[in-house]
Structure 1
């Protein structure tokens, strides 16, 4: 380990040595590797310049250090934070891990920036905001924008006598710019674009991501109003309108449509549409590929804690954090999987303590954050309202432990009771901090203003009927405390995506989501060697053991569960275990929505959750979910139909016509007709992304054009992924032909296709074998007729050896005894690839890091269940 002086030179601020009596963190090897890869700081030589424990101490100390201004014992608080973090009971968002104790010091993940209808004069004009957003993305933050203030496409621009570009045009400008910026030096920027449902360009916006290779750096959401949903219910016309840009007041007043109207700016109606047709277009596009999402503007503004400052227009990239102009929020999640009590109970007292300490931690982050000095409005906005976003992860783990089925009425009440408890104690702690440090500066005029108190305690959607031993809460007492002392944080709770931190914490369920699968292949980096471990839910295995199922039978059950991730169709699993151990695909869309709504009642901001639909779900199913989410008070909804993106590739024009023929009137409906046209040109990504590292096999063969070296690289599932061919010297015609053949083979292997890569390579080899040239080399079975023939022979040899290798591994795996109760299989522990004949759980897109088809849409984000990669 390097010295403190060297570490400081390598980009870390001075940090006192970690006290020797502090505990080490217990992590799986996979979690430790993820931490090292993502969060541990590196020196100029690219090597880690701190240990995992030192990383936790760095974060704890530099967050606690701000308490000097309140005369707190900094070292004592730092120890408290360190123990909270290393116990895995709470983790903050990723930028806090990467930024604390560094000169950069930017600790927030979520930002919202305003975009006004101005090209250069306004501080929040189109290109000034683009500049601010770029600076934020360089620090690791994600941005949300409402494009609703931009005038419609084609409208007259008086100053230039030209026509306006429109929101979608500028969205494309932003997307292109962000495509060139690496977020935090490690990943592309995450962004959210929002457009109101009454904007004249909303129809273009809804379909702007029909081509999934366009606008790749943004999630998009339509801002829905209550008036629109009522118009849909009543089958009314809907006006697409915008303020009169030629009105003298238009330039004088900056704000939302409602603010402009209130100021006297007249509205111009550009078009009238049938509300149901517009709603249908949104739903069909979401059914098609998961976008756009929907944000319920009025629901968000009903609980806006500072309506005197601004109306809420947009959220952060994953949709869970509503923010005003220039506002940002530091998020963190309490790990419910670390709050088990014996006998299937919840350790409520430990949970209370974690919430108290985590709330203090996040308020200190507001103070410790350096924000982005070049955008001073960010710090001003953060200190004005002092928003924090405390949420949860591991809800599914806790429900498994307590024997509660996710999605059931019992599960909805359980989730509500847990979130109510978290919110209640977060607010008590915020009041206590208001006594010590003062309330948030903008409290006057807010819903917490003691002279005009408009905040009322949250209530469950339905009366509680069950008792999980939770201590009582007294909301009336808390109201009195807020009146007397105020409150430190204008908003306290948010349920955020927990991609990387949940992987490190070892949660089975990310955030508030159900577990996605009970068993799957997980990749572990063992000193640079990629090991593939058959992961099975420890709680599921313990339940099987408790049910008296013998080891051999348990192994058989796990292998069956591996096929699809669920235990519901495995006959030998006891019914009580099936009832409790559900995964995302076992839960109906309605149950998903009701779970979201039950928690939303006790989250003053919002939550990241994806409503996963099974394959075969209809457009009507999605529409019903949207209506239900609005009725139940959700602030937004994101849907994803399993396999929907792949189905676009496979669905033919004739299939679409059959769907049309099955309609009630047996004639094409406008929205469906548009989709039919889309299907002629839409394809899932042109090729799969290349993982960071791959294993491969290199062969050599003499050809009429000289010796050729042919490398076949495989992805994590032992499938061929790419081919490299090297012959002769660079720059020669032979080298060019070799490279061309390799590129085409690699492209064929990486195309999205229902045909497995090995079969594709077999067909390619068959096409190359036997091609003759001007001369041959060798005789009999060793004869090589041309360079393509030589390549074909090597591919044929590779495929034969691959098949033998997989059969050998299958035989070996069949002879190996099962490793009892630890969720891993012994053959996999030795680094073997999965045996032939055992279907891996292929439930998603290819991961750019490990190559497994395990990247799924969850929490409004995309993450890999195989290696822990996350876009969040």
Structure 2
């Protein structure tokens, strides 16, 4: 029996019927179950769970199915169908649906796009009204995307106040600061996207506004690029930076984009002309520097805009996979391809079809079940007007391992296209069936799906298919005929979104449409206070080795090599047929990444959240080539990340800082003498210093510690480098080094070596979340590891000085080596390839899917 009561229970949940006893339990790994309990299971006032994992799934299934009442359907039966779909792990909605369904908040969407007009208080989408709306959304855990392109350039005349305009970047900083304060107030910080058109007069300031990575921390930024600009880059032409004449009376009368204003007769002022290639190279240089800005291809997105009569597309959600109109959101969910594997390396196409049908219906119900943010009524109105849904995928790489197709290859590109086309086809057929039952989306008149003027055409692969994986035939004429007869329920149907937490719970090795990141690693597990270290090996990789007849001892050797190298490509003992299939992210070229994104984009009507990872030796030209290729292949946007790219910037920054610390006479050879008064300023740095560099394994990865000495063989400065520069781990390392250097360089009657001994004693023994090694080789934390190195250096320094006083050759500093490679493997911390996770503390946060996620616990910044 379905209750009509919407009053929360004492546990803060809306009334939900008991979980039927005949429904199955969900089979999850211990890690996945803990992630679900930590993230999605509701808790009482005492902080303890008030529902089981199964009850959580039932709560979501029931409250989404409850909207089926209005169509006269059996709610309990639909809820059972949804529960079985979820607990089979064949489909998961996005995280807000898990956390919000059946709660008083009831906000089930992850991200929104809000408009910003050039107005300070008169318009409902003015600068500060939109900031208010965005803050309310962030309080519910949602993220926002904004286009700042309609704001007048910095310094432009403000007629009403006779002042000068702040400009888009200035207001971007205002928004960033406001969102930072919201996070500090106790709410988890929501992600945001800021977009500026490539022809805006302030575009150059926008491109470089995040050069200082600490300046704007609550926003991703992207440049909105037009076809005209890309053609100007190709042809090496000049490019106009322009904006409407704000003094024109028509400027206030007409609302719209630059093109719409120009068409309406508003004069457009050219502020200056630049060389298109110079502007393009500035974008490329900054993206190569630290991954931002991304690029969004405006014209490509608008060519497939389903509702061009309502608005042009100007901005996306924070991860770039959702192009949305003003106040719109999208209900997202992902099909788990890993759970649709057939026997003997085949795809279970029928099971996949059934999952797509049920998932599409589920997401359409979410549109009605969502409470949105009542204080911003435009959100619900916009959602119901177009009824956008975003059905995507996760575990593509898992399915490709199963089928035996190499990710990134020509064959892999075709396989991905065939899978995505199958999903899009059946999602659209289901949406047409829903339109027949419930009616099409209200704004269908004038859209590309208007049955009376149908302009939508079926999607096609980038290249003709040449291979057969047993996929049933698809007749797109059925879809065309269905739209002409019934319309379609959802203006948009497919998206490939980030799947951090849900992919972890689902047990996928490959998140979203990304390749697998690692075939083997060490996972640390806390067992009643004891740190257990478990070797994780890709189940499919292990099975492939077993099927190839490789004996257990040899498999162990292979696993150890994979742990060391991160890939199996350079291991001769792995058969070539396995190496060809079991590639990981580092084995795939940037061009292959782009082509995989483009081949999927052909069958995704919205967009794709994916990161194009470049190796650390990649050049700016490589990034430029990827941008040009992505535009030509029809991608709607691109996010790049050059491995270790931030390190160059940090080194440059350190060099600049050191230059500032040099004495006024930088070529002076003698070392300044110690000052006897303790409160004097710190000593300046000489031009040249000898030193020693040590390395040590720590729970956060290998650390390199450099100790430089002055002319009196006294320690003068310390540098600590760990992990990728630009990461949180590197920041902590740099902070330790700076503080130690400051202590050493303060003028004081206490000699530096004695100061360093005191500092070492303070660092030694500091414990962290986990330790590395045993006995004398045990390193309890990064500070403990630094302390051990300082202690070793000071002991060796004494030996060196003693040997020099006796006329002997000074010994070379060295660190006791671990017992063996096996020791390193056995005590290697979890996934020593990422940044520190703010939730679990593991060094396992990586850039992937246009987002940052933790491979240890499933935490996602998106």
**TM-score of the alignment, normalized to the shorter chain, above 0.5:** yes
Which residue of 846, 851, 857 corresponds with 1:856?
A: 846
Cα contact 2:522–2:829 (8 A) shared by 1: no
Q: Is the 8 A contact 2:773 2:827 kept in 1?
A: no
Contact kept, 8 Å, 1:64 with 1:361, in 2: the verdict is yes
CA shift at 1:457, angstroms?
0.2
Superposition RMSD in Å: 3.4
Shift of 1:73: 0.3
Determine the C-alpha separation between the residues in 2 that align with 1:223 and 1:421.
31
Secondary structure of the 2:60 match is helix
Residue in 1 aligned with 2:775? 805
TM-superposition CA deviations, 1:172-209 (whole Å, max 9, x none): 00000111223996621100000000000000000001
Counterpart of 1:241?
242
For 1:92-147, what per-residue CA distance to the aligned partner results, in whole angstroms no more than 9, with x for missing partners? 01100000000000001120000000000000000000000000111111100000
* Paired position in structure 1 for 2:330: 329
Report the CA distance shift for 1:207/1:249 in structure 2 as closer, same or farther (over 3 A): same
Q: Is the 8 A contact 1:562 1:841 kept in 2?
A: no
Q: Distance in 2 between matches of 1:640 and 1:477?
A: 41
Specify the alignment match of 2:411 in structure 1.
Answer: 410
TM-superposed CA distance for 1:802, in Å, is 7.4
Partner-residue secondary structure (3-state), 1:8: coil
Is the CA contact 1:651–1:679 (under 8 Å) kept in the aligned structure 2?
Answer: no
Find the counterpart in structure 2 of residue 161 from structure 1.
162
Structure 1, 78-87 or 183-192: larger mean CA deviation: 183-192
Name which of structure 1's ranges 200-209 and 27-36 shifts more when overlaid on structure 2.
Answer: 27-36
Deviation at 1:517, TM superposition (A): 1.1
Number of aligned residues = 759
In the other structure, the counterpart of 2:224 is 223
Which residue number corresponds to residue 188 of structure 1?
Answer: 189
Distance change >3 Å, CA 434–CA 581, structure 1 → 2: same
Q: Secondary structure at the match of 2:97?
A: helix
- Which aligned pairs between 1:672-711 and structure 2 lie closer than 5 A? none
Q: Could you tell me how far 1:505 is from its partner in structure 2?
A: 0.6
What's 1:310 paired with?
Answer: 311
Partner of 1:603: 604
Aligned-pair distance for 1:509?
A: 0.4
2:612–2:638 CA contact under 8 A, matched in 1: yes
Residues 1:103 and 2:73 aligned together = no
2:616–2:642 contact (8 Å) kept in structure 1: yes
Q: Which residue of 1 aligns with 2:685?
A: none
Counterpart for residue 372 of structure 1: 373
Deviations 1:276-321 (CA, angstroms, capped at 9, x unpaired) = 0000000010000000000000000000000000000000000000
**Residue in structure 2 matched with residue 563 of structure 1 by the alignment:** 564
Partner of 1:471: 472
How many angstroms apart in 1 are the aligned matches of 2:423 and 2:489? 16
Alpha-carbon contact 1:147-1:195 (below 8 Å) kept: yes
The alpha-carbon distance between structure 1 residues 524 and 107, as it changes in their structure 2 partners (threshold 3 A), is farther
1:181, 1:189 within 8 Å by CA — same for their partners in 2? no
Name the SS for the 2:853 alignment partner. strand
**Residue 347 of structure 2: aligned partner:** 346
Q: Is the CA contact 2:702–2:722 (under 8 Å) kept in the aligned structure 1? A: no
Structure 1 residue 483 displacement after superposition:
0.2
Q: Does structure 1 retain, via aligned residues, the 8 Å contact 2:524–2:830?
A: no
CA distance in 1, matches of 2:427, 2:536: 35
**CA deviation digits over 1:412-435, x for unaligned, max 9?**
000000000000000000000001
Unaligned residue ranges in structure 2 (runs of 5+) = 661-696, 705-717, 780-821
The aligned counterpart of 2:361 is: 360
Write the distance in 1 (CA, Å) between the matches of 2:827 and 2:529: 27
CA distance 1:6–1:485, shift in 2 (3 Å): closer
Q: Which residue of 2 aligns with 1:870?
A: 860
8 Å CA contact 1:336–1:398 kept in 2: the answer is yes
Q: 1:105 to 1:789 in 2, by over 3 A?
A: same
| More off after superposition, 182-191 vs 464-473 | 182-191
Match of residue 56 from structure 1: 57
Q: Is this contact kept in 2: 1:525–1:531, CA < 8 A?
A: yes
Seen in structure 2, the aligned counterparts of structure 1 residues 839 and 616 have a Cα distance that, compared at 3 Å, is farther
Q: Residue 593 of structure 2 corresponds to which residue in structure 1?
A: 592
Question: Deviation at 1:524?
Answer: 4.0
Write out aligned runs for 1:533-552 (5 A).
533-552=534-553
Name the CA distance, whole Å, in 1 between partners of 2:280 and 2:109: 35
SS at match of 1:143: strand
SS of the counterpart of 1:20?
Answer: coil
The CA distance in 2 between the partners of 1:480 and 1:274, in whole Å, is: 48
Deviations along 1:720-752, whole A, 9 cap, x unmatched? 99xxxxxxxxxxxxxxxxxxxxxx999999985
Deviation track 1:197-240 (CA, whole Å, cap 9, x = no partner) reads: 00000000000011111111100000000000000000000000
The answer on 1:250 being equivalent to 2:251 is yes
Corresponding residue for 1:71? 72
Deviation at 1:43, TM superposition (A): 0.6
Q: Deviations over 1:622-662 (max 9, x none)?
A: 000000000000100000001112332235799xxxxxxxx
Residue number in structure 1 paired with 2:684: none
Question: What is the aligned partner in structure 1 of residue 484 from structure 2?
Answer: 483
Task: Please give the secondary structure, in 2, of the residue aligned with 1:269.
Answer: strand
Instruction: Answer whether contact 2:364 2:389 (CA < 8 A) is retained.
Output: yes
CA distance in 2, matches of 1:679, 1:864: 35
Cα pair 2:156 2:164 within 8 Å, conserved: yes
Matched position secondary structure for 1:68? helix
Give the direction of change, closer, same or farther, for the CA distance of 1:183–1:425 in structure 2 (3 Å limit): farther
CA distance 1:25–1:539, change in 2 (3 Å): same
Alignment of 1:108-127 (within 5 A): 108-127=109-128
Matches within 5 A, 1:640-719: 640-651=641-652, 716-717=699-700
- Once residues 5 and 238 of structure 1 are traced to their aligned partners in structure 2, the CA distance between those partners, rounded to angstroms, is 57
In structure 2, distance between residues paired with 1:65 and 1:679: 65
Deviation at 1:837, TM superposition (A): 7.2
Contact 1:372-1:378 within 8 A present in 2 as well: yes
* Cross-structure match for 1:145: 146
**1:765 shift after superposition:** 14
Pick closer, same or farther for the CA change 1:227–1:786 going to 2, 3 Å: closer
Q: Is the 8 A contact 1:716 1:850 kept in 2?
A: no
CA distance in 2, matches of 1:457, 1:361: 24
Partners of 1:416 and 1:185 in 2: CA distance: 43
Equivalences for 1:674-823 in 2 at 5 Å?
A: 716-717=699-700, 753=730, 792-793=760-761, 795=763, 804-805=774-775, 807=777
Contact 2:151–2:167, Cα closer than 8 Å, also in 1: yes
Task: Answer yes or no: is the 8 Å Cα contact 1:496–1:859 preserved in 2.
Answer: yes
**TM-score with structure 2 length normalisation?**
0.83
After TM superposition, list the pairs within 5 Å mapping 1:415-564 onto structure 2: 415-524=416-525, 526=527, 531-564=532-565
Q: 1:388 to 1:587 in 2, by over 3 A?
A: same
Measured in 2, the distance between the counterparts of 1:622 and 1:807 equals 43
Distance 2:524 2:215 in 1: 31
Shift in alpha-carbon separation, 1:852–1:592, aligned structure 2, 3 A? same
Query: CA–CA distance in 2 between the matches of 1:475 and 1:678?
Result: 62
- Mapped partners of 1:758, 1:251: distance in 2: 51
C-alpha distance in structure 2 between counterparts of 1:454 and 1:184, whole Å: 49
Change (3 A) 1:839 1:54: closer
After TM superposition, give the deviation of residue 788 of structure 1 in Å. Answer: 8.5
Q: How many Å apart are 1:389 and its aligned residue?
A: 0.2
Alpha-carbon spacing, 1:565–1:264, altered in 2? closer, same or farther (3 Å): same
Determine helix, strand or coil for the equivalent of 1:61: helix
3-state DSSP class of the match of 1:151?
coil
1:272 matched to 2:278:
no
Structure 1 contact 521–866 (Cα < 8 Å) conserved? no
From the superposition, tell whether residues 748 and 469 of structure 1 become closer, same or farther in structure 2 (CA, over 3 Å).
Answer: closer
My pick for the range that moved more, 846-855 or 541-550, is 846-855
Shift of 1:853: 2.5
Structure 1 residue 841, shift from structure 2 partner? 4.3
